[in-house]
Amino acid sequence: MRAATIAVLVENEAGVLARVIGLFSGRGYNIDSLTVAPVDAEGRLSRITVVTSGTEMVIEQIKAQLDRLVPVHKVSDLTLEGPHLVRELALIKVVGTGDHRVEALRLADAFRARVVDATTESFVFEMTGNAEKIDAFCALMRPIGLKEISRTGAVAIARGTHALMG
């Protein structure tokens, strides 16, 4: 078993995300996270980042199955292809007063999380990082008033000059 971060460049058309998700659910593959957004100037191309896991044979299958979808331009297994960056954005709401509030701010500072909203009884922190960093921050916030989490799931890109298309 291994984890794989797969980047998929697709036509930005109706139903394309349903095709990708349907493929995963129909064939029983895991989705740990999935993100999608248009990435070119004309809005014709979207990039999907899927984090999945499975045996080597299953991951090969996932890539081959994705690649044969008609609106798919390119499939790239970033995990296999070399050094790459993975980032995720999280918005984290912490509610509390007194010492807990001070502690929350101190921890946020240590994790380089920014305060993007505040009331006398709450903060919303914004942070980016890999999944482990966000997990760790949330774990620390839990006993001091963690109320709600919203995460984007991973986006990823290869290091260096190499690009998905050309």
Q: 3-class secondary structure for 49-105?
A: EEEEEECHHHHHHHHHHHHCCCCEEEEEEHHHHCCEEEEEEEEEEEECCCHHHHHHH
Rounded to a whole number of angstroms, the minimum distance from the CB of residue 39 to another protein is: 14
Rounded to a whole number of angstroms, the minimum distance from the CB of residue 141 to another protein is: 39
Give residues with Cβ within 8 angstroms of 55, minimum separation 6: 1, 2
Which chain residues interact with another protein by CB under 8 A? Answer: 10-11, 14-15, 18-19, 22, 26, 57, 60-61, 64-65, 67-73
By C-beta, is 51 or 72 nearer to another protein? Answer: 72
Within 10 angstroms of residue 74's Cβ, the number of other Cβ atoms is: 16
Residue 24, φ and ψ in degrees, nearest 5: -65, -45
Contact 161, 86 (CB under 8 A): no
Rounded to a whole number of angstroms, the minimum distance from the CB of residue 81 to another protein is: 17
Rounded to a whole number of angstroms, the minimum distance from the CB of residue 127 to another protein is: 35
Rounded to a whole number of angstroms, the minimum distance from the CB of residue 117 to another protein is: 35
By C-beta, is 15 or 83 nearer to another protein? Answer: 15
Place of tokens 């296999």: 80
Alpha carbon distance 160, 163 (integer Å): 8
By C-beta, is 63 or 101 nearer to another protein? Answer: 63
- The strand pair at 45-54 and 2-11 is best described as antiparallel
By C-beta, is 3 or 64 nearer to another protein? Answer: 64
